[in-house]
């Protein structure tokens, strides 16, 4: 594909769609991985350990995801800027017939999600925000992800911010997913309602799946293994 | 002046072929040295400009609209005729020719009409190749519908938006040439004068409607494709901007104006509701394929339509014209509706309306089929009247729609002014005294794609090429005149608006020179018009700048020309002491109220020569000779 | 009925516009929106105030000339209706109505409510056609087109080029207009030969004119007087991406 073509508005929308799709797949995979928390400490910690044990794979994937994220953001910023300048004089009387609130605030939700990602990485990947939970190890000497998760989410503020961020992500995806079918040209009159429903269903599933973890911790469904404080 | 129509000799079916062979050609390499100005970008103008540019001519187009795509051809709904005989129902070039000539009440030039029928099939081929989405059969072939004045189905259509689709086809062909740099387009630019140099049309003076700048454009030939003058009546189905200015300016420069009294009243329009109304909306004639016209048999019957039983209804077209029924030609149907309303049997609040009822068709074909055929028309009707035509019958009444008259042209579509060509509705040639439905699109595109591109070359090849420049004194004089006129309009500073004068003029014309005319009324109009004109130039109020967009100023210029042209229209109507087609003189009718032609005295084209403002125009006659048809009284019974 | 109007007045493209209040008094509800403006203009002229310039022509919803933002909605509140076919019966007595021109960088204001939409023409000039010269074409029925395809092409071709899609789009994007033309021609067999160049050139020109990008909010479809479907935008995206591979 010619690079020049990707620079057009239509091309950049396709870039948004593809990068968004990759990020979506990551979010979904990540969620499925995390849900192993319900299988208990052994399952989650061994999953985490397994991931960490493959640095040759882990780092290229992380780098790739970072690049995709940056691309998704950079392209969206360039488009948003152009979109803003395309109407230099705003309407005195503004009204909207069809465009939903979510679709009009994708940049805002995107910024919130990015902020959350930074926080999330500092929290669970770099251990900056809660260092006291980051160095726990389990009986097999592995990094005790399971306990870290539960201890962190016992804090109402932490859980609350995660759930709030998931709500924003859900909103972002509800427009983003259906949008990618349009931008990549899969929509037609018959498929559009289906993709719209699919988008909403998928984003709600991601919301429920991810939010269920802090929720379960707060409700006490997920308990610490014995031996941890 | 003797009018030579330059009709080729020989049998009618071979005239055009023979003529094409006899016409001189311009060498392909030389074509780009010839420049052509095309004024107006409707079907005729856009198609001509595109075709000429494809041939290699250097073309400039002008239109007052903001884009060539908005010319009023876009509003044509029903369809375009062609003699393809796809339905295998007996159509042929001869039959299309005969129907058109008879439909025009034998007041058109036979040779032109025959040629029109001959090229009709090529138009369909051309449009299909351009991507015009004509309606199709399930097998993928083109489908046809029937239209007024014909007993065969020969009308090609694209839903109720045929004009739009054909115009977009021509607009796209034109746009392609603009993109290639072979056509320079000037939108939002209005022609104010035609410039003659040594008797030849060599350019125009225009006003840029955005900046107000007046400038000259010189060329080797000028083509007017500026449409009709129905807006002289103020209320018509034409777009607000349609005007006679370009044609009238050419007339004032010596071009003859032919048959101005041949105006067409379209039977199926939405009735007038009040003084505020700025235009009338046409409901396509195609509706008469499935709709039935009726009124109550009783006078002043104010009951709602559903309370009027079948036996109390008068399906007047089916009763009077059993052979054609609801598909009687426009002039006939209009007059029948008027007579019914004059008798006091009209419907609606004003009593000026008849029903167009789809109940039977919906029962027979189902609502979906009807929606498929006429959905957008039904929607349009509902928008305007707030009534749902699927449930209650439409109310319709005739309205001014098209003008058959126009600048006189010869077989080459050139006026008596050498170099000035006129195509489409702006010329007079093909429709006689009445145009059949779906023939306007045919004529516009025939002229533009397939006739003018040949004949204009003949003009170039037969005349010495001269160097013309917009700097010459003839252009400068015209520019000065145009500026002075604008200055005059702006400096009157009277009390009345342009619209009020236009409305007043329209009212006089509709009353005295509308659907039915008589000598007394026409004489009255000829007395009124100069009075209105005089007041116009004394008491008009136009505000705003000359060097900026100023819609009122534009309109004032156009109404100023209408106020002179209206006199010519009435003069022609008064002189033509017969009834034919759209021109119905009450003094000349058969005992059962049909038009009574007078072939002995009036079988000619009345071409008028300008003599000065307020002075009667001088009449020139082009005798109409019919080689291949016998003149008969038109009967659709 | 009586209405209070707030009308955008702007002397020229260099001028800053502002809303000016006018009254429309004793107007029949059967009057169309443009006829109401006619009446207001008559009254203004009588008071020696320069009338409001607005674009209009056919007044039957097909030429695409009229271009009014009525209370923030292109062509006003009625679905599938141009401003010229909008009647006052859809408003209430005493309503305040704000009337603005289309606002978009690619549609500079010429005066008051009149804007320059020549960007649309340039997009079509860039490739919105089938390159066929007059005369050299096959007989019409040698190109069969399935009815469904022809109907669908017609759905797209029904665009009147009014620019309401641009006006209402939060990004002033022209995607619906361009997509309608691209789809119309790409659907038909006649349009296949230049399908790739066409979409590339039209999109490039669209971007050059300064329209925004599509963010799939479908506001354009909601206001389109001809109800052109945004599925055509998806089709254009598909055509564009296919042509780029």
Q: Is the pLDDT of residue A229 over 80?
A: no
Q: Is the pLDDT of residue A216 over 60?
A: yes
Interatomic CA distance for residues C133 and B258, integer angstroms: 33
Shortest Cα–Cα distance, C144 to chain A (Å): 24
Grouping H, G, I as helix, E, B as strand and the rest as coil, residue B208 is strand
What are the residues whose beta carbons fall under 8 Å from the beta carbon of B144, sequence distance 6 or more? B84, B86, B87, B153, B154, B155, B156, B157
Domain annotation covers residue A91 = no
> Partners of B517 in the beta sheet?
B513, B585
Give the pLDDT mean for C146-155: 97
One-character DSSP codes across B384-438: HHS--TTTS-EEEEEEEEEE--EE---TTSB-SSTTEEE-GGGB-SSSTT-PPTT
Q: Please write down the HEC assignment for all residues of chain C.
A: CCEEEEEEECCCCCCCCEEEEEEECCCCCCCEHHHHHHHHHHHHHHCCCCCCCCCCCCCCCCCCCCCCEECCEECCCCCCCCHHHCEHHHCCCCCEEEEECCCECCECEEECCEECCHHHHHHHHHHCCCCCCCCCCCCHHHCCCCHHHHHHHHHHHCCCCCCHHHHHCCCCECHHHHHHHHHHHHHCHHHCCCHHHHHHHHHHHHHHCCCECCCCCCHHHHHCCCCCCCHHHHHHHHHHHHHHC
CB pair distance less than 8 Å for C100 and A5: no
Query: Per-residue pLDDT tens for B45-64?
Result: 999 999 999 999 999 999 99
Q: Are strands C69-70 and C18-24 parallel, antiparallel or unpaired?
A: unpaired
Mutate to test the interface with B, among C24, C61, C63, C145 (most CBs of B within 10 A): C63
Q: Are strands B354-357 and B292-296 parallel, antiparallel or unpaired?
A: antiparallel
Facing residue for C217 by CB, picked from A5, A103, A184: A103
What one-character DSSP code corresponds to residue B470? T
User: What angle is formed at CA B470 by the lines to CA B172 and CA B44, rounded to 5 degrees?
Assistant: 25
H or E segment and range at residue B609? strand B604-609
Residue A1, pLDDT score? 54
Facing residue for C131 by CB, picked from B176, B380, B453: B176
* Residues of chain C positioned with their CB less than 8 A from the CB of B137: 147
Domain count, chain A: 1
Interatomic CA distance for residues A210 and A205, integer angstroms: 8
Mutate to test the interface with C, among A86, A172, A185, A199 (most CBs of C within 10 A): A86
Looking at chain B, which subunits does it touch, using at least 3 CB pairs closer than 8 Å as the criterion?
Answer: C
Q: Which residue in the list B95, B207, B292, B330 is annotated as catalytic? A: B330
* Residues of chain C positioned with their CB less than 8 A from the CB of A106: 215
CB pair distance less than 8 Å for A95 and C73: yes
* Residues of chain B positioned with their CB less than 8 A from the CB of C50: 543-544
> Partners of B355 in the beta sheet?
B294, B395
Whole-prediction pTM: 0.96
Is C81 an 8 Å CB contact of chain A? no
Q: Is the pLDDT of residue C212 over 70?
A: yes
List the domain range (segments joined by +) for residue A174. Answer: 3-85+103-219
Residue A219 CA, distance from chain mean position: 24
Domain annotation covers residue A92 = no
Tell me the Cα Rg of chain C: 20
* Residue C13 CB-half CA count within 13 A: 12
Give the pLDDT mean for C100-128: 98
* Residues of chain A positioned with their CB less than 8 A from the CB of C206: 9
> Partners of B595 in the beta sheet?
B589
Q: Is the pLDDT of residue A228 over 80?
A: no
* Residue B297 CB-half CA count within 13 A: 9
CATH number at residue A184: 1.20.1300.10
Is C60 an 8 Å CB contact of chain B? yes
Is C26 an 8 Å CB contact of chain B? no
Interatomic CA distance for residues B605 and B113, integer angstroms: 14
At B349, list the tokens: 């609040």
List all residues of chain C from 9 to 38 with a beta carbon under 8 Å from chain A. 17, 19
At B214, list the tokens: 């007046």
B203 dihedral zone (left: phi>0; alpha: psi -120 to 50; beta): left
CB pair distance less than 8 Å for C191 and B51: no
Q: Is the pLDDT of residue C50 over 70?
A: yes
User: What angle is formed at CA B599 by the lines to CA B594 and CA B601, rounded to 5 degrees?
Assistant: 115
ipTM above 0.85, yes or no: yes
Grouping H, G, I as helix, E, B as strand and the rest as coil, residue B105 is coil
Domain annotation covers residue A137 = yes
Q: Is the pLDDT of residue C245 over 70?
A: yes
At A76, list the tokens: 């969206």
> Which residue numbers in chain B have pLDDT < 70?
none
List all residues of chain A from 82 to 101 with a beta carbon under 8 Å from chain C. 82-100
Options 3.40.50.720, 2.40.50.100, 1.10.1060.10, 2.60.40.10; CATH of C118-244: 1.10.1060.10
Grouping H, G, I as helix, E, B as strand and the rest as coil, residue B156 is strand
Sorting pLDDT into bands at 50, 70 and 90, what band is A5? Answer: confident
Q: Are strands B183-186 and B394-403 parallel, antiparallel or unpaired?
A: unpaired
Q: Burial level of A72, CB count in 10 A (0-12/13-18/19+)? A: buried
Grouping H, G, I as helix, E, B as strand and the rest as coil, residue B517 is strand
Domains of chain B are 267-401 (3.90.700.10), 480-623 (1.20.58.100)
Q: How far apart are the first and last CA of chain C?
A: 59
* CATH architecture designation of domain C3-111: Roll (3.10)
What one-character DSSP code corresponds to residue B583? B
Shortest Cα–Cα distance, A228 to chain C (Å): 49
Facing residue for A82 by CB, picked from C203, C213, C231: C213
B581 dihedral zone (left: phi>0; alpha: psi -120 to 50; beta): left
Range C125-160 burial, b when 16+ CB lie within 10 A, else e: bbbbbbebebeebeebbebebebebbbbbbbbbbbb
The yes-or-no answer on residue B330 being catalytic is yes
Q: Domains of chain C: which residue ranges?
A: 3-111, 118-244
Interatomic CA distance for residues C115 and C101, integer angstroms: 7
Q: Which residue is listed with tokens 């998928």?
A: A202
Q: Is the pLDDT of residue A227 over 80?
A: no
Residue B340, pLDDT score? 93
Mutate to test the interface with C, among A12, A87, A182 (most CBs of C within 10 A): A87
At B605, list the tokens: 């084209």
Residue A213, pLDDT score? 96
Residue B350, pLDDT score? 86
Are the C-beta atoms of residues B423 and B44 closer than 8 Å to each other? Answer: yes
- Smallest Cα–Cα separation from A19: which of A72, A64, A63? A72
Give the orientation angle of helix B43-55 with respect to helix B162-180, to 10 degrees. 30
For chain C, the average pLDDT equals 97
Query: Per-residue pLDDT tens for A90-106?
Result: 999 999 998 899 999 99
List all residues of chain C from 41 to 60 with a beta carbon under 8 Å from chain A. none
């Amino acid at each position: 594909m010619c690079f020049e073509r990707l620079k057009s508005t239509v091309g950049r929308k396709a870039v948004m769609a593809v990068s968004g799709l990759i990020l979506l797949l990551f979010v979904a995979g990540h969620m499925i991985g995390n849900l192993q928390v319900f299988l208990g400490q052994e399952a989650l910690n061994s999953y985490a350990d397994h991931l960490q044990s493959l640095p040759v794979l882990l780092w290229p994937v992380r780098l790739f995801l970072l690049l995709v994220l940056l691309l998704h953001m950079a392209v969206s910023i360039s488009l948003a800027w152009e979109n803003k300048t395309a109407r230099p004089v705003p309407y005195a009387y503004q009204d909207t017939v069809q465009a939903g609130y979510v679709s009009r605030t994708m940049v805002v939700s995107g910024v919130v999600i990015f902020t959350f990602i930074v926080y999330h990485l500092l929290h669970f990947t770099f251990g900056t925000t809660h260092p006291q939970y980051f160095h726990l190890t389990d009986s097999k000497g592995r990094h005790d992800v399971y306990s870290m998760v539960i201890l962190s989410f016992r804090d109402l503020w932490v859980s609350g911010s995660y759930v709030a961020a998931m709500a924003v992500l859900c909103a972002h995806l509800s427009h983003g997913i259906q949008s990618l079918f349009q931008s990549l040209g899969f929509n037609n009159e018959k498929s559009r309602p289906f993709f719209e429903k699919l988008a909403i269903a998928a984003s709600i599933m991601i919301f429920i799946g991810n939010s269920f973890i802090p929720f379960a911790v707060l409700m006490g469904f997920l308990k610490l293994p014995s031996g941890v404080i | 002046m003797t009018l030579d129509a330059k009709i080729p000799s020989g049998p009618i079916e071979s005239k055009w072929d023979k003529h094409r062979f006899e016409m001189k050609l311009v060498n392909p390499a030389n074509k780009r040295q010839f420049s052509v100005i095309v004024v107006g970008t409707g079907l005729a103008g856009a198609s001509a400009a595109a075709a000429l540019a494809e041939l290699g001519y250097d073309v400039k187009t002008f239109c007052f609209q903001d884009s060539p795509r908005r010319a009023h051809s876009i509003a044509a709904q029903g369809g375009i005729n062609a003699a393809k005989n796809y339905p295998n129902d007996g159509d042929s070039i001869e039959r299309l020719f005969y129907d058109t000539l008879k439909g025009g009440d034998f007041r058109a030039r036979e040779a032109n009409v025959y040629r029109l029928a001959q090229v009709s099939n090529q138009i369909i081929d051309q449009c299909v190749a351009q991507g015009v989405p004509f309606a199709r059969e399930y097998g993928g072939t083109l489908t046809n519908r029937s239209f007024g004045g014909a007993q065969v189905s020969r009308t090609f259509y694209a839903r109720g938006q045929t004009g739009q689709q054909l115009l977009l086809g021509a607009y796209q062909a034109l746009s392609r040439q603009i993109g290639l740099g072979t056509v320079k387009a000037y939108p939002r630019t209005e022609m104010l004068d035609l410039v003659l140099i040594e008797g030849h049309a060599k350019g125009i003076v225009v006003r840029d409607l955005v900046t107000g700048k007046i400038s000259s454009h010189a060329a080797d030939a000028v083509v007017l494709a500026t449409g009709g003058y129905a807006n002289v009546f103020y209320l018509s189905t034409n777009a607000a901007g349609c005007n006679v200015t370009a044609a009238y300016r050419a007339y004032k420069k010596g071009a003859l104006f032919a048959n101005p009294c041949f105006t067409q009243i379209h039977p199926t329009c939405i009735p007038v509701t009040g003084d505020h109304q700025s235009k009338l909306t046409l409901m396509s004639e195609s509706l008469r394929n499935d709709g039935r016209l009726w009124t109550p048999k009783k006078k002043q019957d104010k009951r709602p339509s559903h309370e009027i039983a079948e036996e109390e209804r008068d399906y007047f077209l089916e009763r009077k014209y059993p052979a054609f029924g609801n598909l009687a030609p426009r002039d006939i149907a209009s007059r029948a509706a008027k007579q019914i309303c004059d008798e006091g049997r009209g419907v609606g609040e004003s009593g000026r309306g008849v029903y167009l009822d789809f109940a039977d068709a919906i029962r027979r074909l189902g609502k979906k089929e009807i929606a498929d055929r006429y959905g957008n028309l039904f929607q349009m009707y509902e928008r305007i009247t707030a009534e749902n035509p699927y449930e209650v019958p439409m109310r319709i009444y005739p309205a001014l729609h098209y003008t058959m008259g126009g600048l006189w042209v010869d077989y080459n579509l050139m006026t008596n002014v050498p170099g000035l060509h006129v195509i489409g509705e702006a010329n007079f040639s093909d429709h006689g005294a009445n145009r059949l439905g779906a023939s306007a699109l045919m004529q516009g595109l025939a002229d533009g794609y397939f006739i003018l591109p040949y004949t204009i070359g003949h003009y170039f090849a037969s005349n010495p090429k001269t160097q013309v420049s917009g700097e010459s004194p003839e252009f400068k004089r015209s520019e000065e005149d145009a500026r002075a006129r604008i200055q005059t309009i702006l400096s009157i500073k009277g009390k009345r608006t342009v619209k009020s004068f236009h409305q007043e003029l329209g009212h006089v014309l509709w009353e005295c020179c509308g659907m039915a005319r008589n000598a007394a009324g026409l004489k009255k109009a000829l007395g009124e018009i100069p009075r209105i004109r005089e007041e116009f130039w004394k008491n008009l109020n136009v505000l705003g700048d000359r060097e900026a967009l100023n819609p009122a100023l534009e309109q004032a210029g156009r109404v100023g020309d209408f106020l002179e042209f209206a006199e010519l229209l009435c003069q022609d109507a008064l002189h033509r002491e017969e009834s034919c087609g759209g021109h119905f003189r009450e003094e000349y009718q058969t005992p059962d109220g049909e038009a009574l032609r007078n072939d002995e005295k009036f079988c000619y084209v009345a071409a008028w020569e300008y003599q000065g403002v307020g002075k009667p125009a001088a009449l020139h006659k082009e005798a109409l000779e019919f080689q291949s048809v016998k003149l008969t009284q038109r009967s659709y019974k | 009925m009586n209405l209070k109007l707030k009308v955008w007045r702007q002397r020229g493209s260099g001028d800053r516009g502002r809303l000016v209040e006018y009254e429309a008094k004793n107007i029949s509800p059967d009057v169309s929106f443009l006829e109401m403006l006619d009446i207001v203009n008559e009254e203004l002229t009588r008071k020696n105030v320069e009338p409001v310039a607005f674009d209009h022509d056919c007044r039957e919803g097909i030429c695409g000339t009229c271009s009014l933002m009525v209370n923030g909605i292109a062509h006003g509140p009625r679905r599938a209706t141009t401003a010229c076919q909008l009647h006052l019966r859809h408003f209430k007595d005493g309503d305040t109505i704000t009337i603005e021109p289309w606002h978009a960088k690619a549609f500079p204001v010429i005066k008051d409510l009149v804007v320059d939409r020549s960007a649309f023409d340039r997009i079509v000039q860039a490739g919105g056609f089938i390159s066929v010269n007059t005369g050299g074409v096959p007989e019409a029925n040698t190109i069969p087109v399935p009815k469904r395809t022809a109907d669908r092409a017609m759905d797209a071709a029904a665009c009147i080029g009014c620019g309401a899609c641009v006006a209402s789009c939060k990004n002033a994007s022209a995607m619906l207009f361009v997509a309608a033309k691209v789809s119309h021609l790409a659907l038909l067999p006649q349009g296949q030969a230049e399908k790739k160049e066409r979409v590339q050139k039209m999109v490039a020109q669209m971007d050059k004119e300064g329209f925004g990008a599509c963010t799939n909010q479908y506001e354009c479809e909601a206001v389109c007087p001809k109800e052109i479907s945004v599925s055509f935008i998806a089709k254009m995206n598909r055509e564009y991406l296919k042509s780029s591979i």
